[in-house]
Structure 1
Amino acid sequence: MLRLFGYRGRRFAAALLPLLLAACGTTEPTQQARPAMWLIADEDTKIYMLGAMHALPSSTDWEGGKVADAVAASDELVMELSPAELANAGAVFQALAPRTEPLPMAKRLPAQALASYRALEASGGGFGGDALDDWAVMVLMGQRVAQKAELDSSNGVEARLTERFKDAGKRIGGLETAKDQLMFFETLDPATQRTLLTRSAEKSDEAVKDVKALTAAWGRGDVAALERVINEDVDTVPAARKAILTDRNRRWSAWVQKRLDQPGTVLMAVGAGHLVGSDGVPAMLEADGLKVTRVQ
């Protein structure tokens, strides 16, 4: 889920909750995309690591090139969430999101941020934010931005890969549970949650433009641009970076190294923000002395 994961703090929300990115159709001409992908291998194992976007314009064609080769060669697909966990995530969100006591948004946000929040809310119906934790409000704001940007979850990387692997009768697994992912937010300290929410609201008028630029960089495989976008947000909120990016990337790096002990070919598709930068999974693997090759 991250991202994540542009929408300033909402990059975290969009990355962490692919299930909440509603599908919206678009009639734009087909756009070719070649997202970044890496390979780590030993004598009998290959693991492709593909940077994913959880939702994309339906006009985006990203399944060609080396991705098609990796899909055909792989025996197994591993994502952040398995299909079963993704299906359960909405219920988990509903259980964790409510506050113990309501708190009006007017008491949480400064005037400028509150005005921007109200404008985003008015664009498609209320969020019910008074009754929700700060992180949950941010998630719903991210959903609204995705809708306004005409992103389509059914064309997202995980959804399309799931179809391909199911049709081929290949294994599909996940690295985390839906509760794991939501608890990364739920357990952030209140000050960090409020900072993320405030930043999200303050910049919400720029969010659609930001997410389109982020999607374009992903489609070009421009990892430097992706790293700049991610760092723009998370470097200002260290506690969020540690919980939502660095710690998870470390666990996933350990998973990759352990998976190399089993023969076979695996396609690992996780949010693109987890694969770029000095604390991205490829960089962590290289720091441990393993050879990682960019193949697209």
Structure 2
Amino acid sequence: MFKSLLSKMLVLLPFISHHAFAEPIVWKIYDTQRQFYVLGSIHAGEEDMFPLPKAFLTQWKDADALIVEANILTQSTSTVKQYQPPLTQEKLNSKQLKTLQTITTSLQLPYEHLIAQPPWLTATYLQLALAKQQNLSTDQGIDYVLLKRAQQQDLPIKAFETVEHQLNLLQNLPENGTNMLLETINNWQQTEQALKCLVNVWKQGDSQKFAELFNDTQFDPETNDALIFSRNRQWAKTLSESEDYQSGRFMIVVGAFHLIGEQGLPALMEKEGFTVERITKGVTAQCDGWEKLTS
């Protein structure tokens, strides 16, 4: 985004710092027949996340398809079973309910409504409201923006999963997602700072801090496997074996946390025999609030 600046400006203007040249992480995963260009998404964003990295947009021009977690532009016939037990009010003790009430007040959410929801849905409402409070919009989410662009340009859209499948995952979490809710409210201050940090880390392409943030925001192993790791394994298998992806150039956009570590999609694809390269450069992101809480 700033690459067209004359080199002379770097000498004349001291406020132009090295971080202006940082970009979100883009992976190139390929073999002799196919190329996958992978960008991590934050599902709620802001205007200064755009334009997206040149390394990604350049390949977009010649892409055969966009691959996403689920095509959220399509109509879904699924409904949330809001009153399927156990509900939030049944899984939280009095102290935890008081904490939840304090949080809902700060977010201007209806407490009585939320405690009558499954814990996973209550946690989802809290996180969406927090994103809105921090001026992040789902309309500026990376995957949503690129889905709209693909739709407008008649670029084929392929999805690893359906919206119904994702909803089913949440509805079948252990204890209806109680652990996810408790982790969210018991560490609410960290949750707030983690979201701020995540946006900054994404913009700066700081892979090390991404890993730290990922490791510090884990749920229990069963929830992690259901929401992240088992899905990564299935996606890697699909990309490697499906007839739809045996040749061509594909743009992939999935949640940024799906791309991290030995169980992340790039590492799994490398184990499948693909060559994996990072094709953008990042710098160290500043997350003072998060680092103070976790140091």
TM-score under structure 1 normalisation? 0.79
* 3-state secondary structure, aligned to 1:73: coil
Change (3 A) 1:102 1:228: closer
Change (3 A) 1:32 1:62: farther
Which residue of 9, 29, 45 maps to 1:40? 29
* 3-state secondary structure, aligned to 1:170: coil
**Aligned partners of 2:69 and 2:216: how far apart in 1?**
23
Q: Is residue 79 from structure 1 mapped to residue 68 from structure 2 by the alignment?
A: yes
Specify the structure having the higher radius of gyration (Cα).
2
Would you say how many aligned residue pairs link Structure 1 and Structure 2? 258
**Aligned partners of 1:64 and 1:195: how far apart in 2?**
36
Q: Which runs of 5+ in 1 are unaligned?
A: 1-30
**Aligned partners of 2:212 and 2:278: how far apart in 1?**
19
Aligned 1:129-144 pairs, distance under 5 A: 129-144=114-129
**Aligned partners of 1:53 and 1:293: how far apart in 2?**
21
Q: Which runs of 5+ in 2 are unaligned?
A: 1-19, 281-295
**Aligned partners of 2:88 and 2:41: how far apart in 1?**
35
Q: Is residue 169 from structure 1 mapped to residue 158 from structure 2 by the alignment?
A: no
Partner of 1:153: 138
Partner of 2:38: 49
**Aligned partners of 1:104 and 1:40: how far apart in 2?**
42
Segments of 4+ moved more than 6 angstroms: none
> What do residues 145-198 of structure 1 show as CA deviations (whole Å, max 9, x unaligned)?
1111110112211122123222322111211011211222211221x7222211
Partner of 2:166: 181
Q: Is residue 292 from structure 1 mapped to residue 276 from structure 2 by the alignment?
A: yes
Q: CA RMSD in A?
A: 2.3
**Aligned partners of 1:79 and 1:103: how far apart in 2?**
31
Change (3 A) 1:166 1:221: same
Query: How far has the Cα of 1:254 moved from its partner?
Result: 0.7
Aligned 1:101-140 pairs, distance under 5 A: 103=87, 105=89, 107-122=90-105, 123-126=107-110, 128-140=113-125
Change (3 A) 1:45 1:104: closer
Change (3 A) 1:259 1:220: farther
Amino acid at match of 1:63: L
Identity over aligned pairs, percent: 22
Amino acid at match of 2:263: D
Query: How far has the Cα of 1:96 moved from its partner?
Result: 2.7
Partner of 1:200: 184
**Aligned partners of 2:122 and 2:21: how far apart in 1?**
34
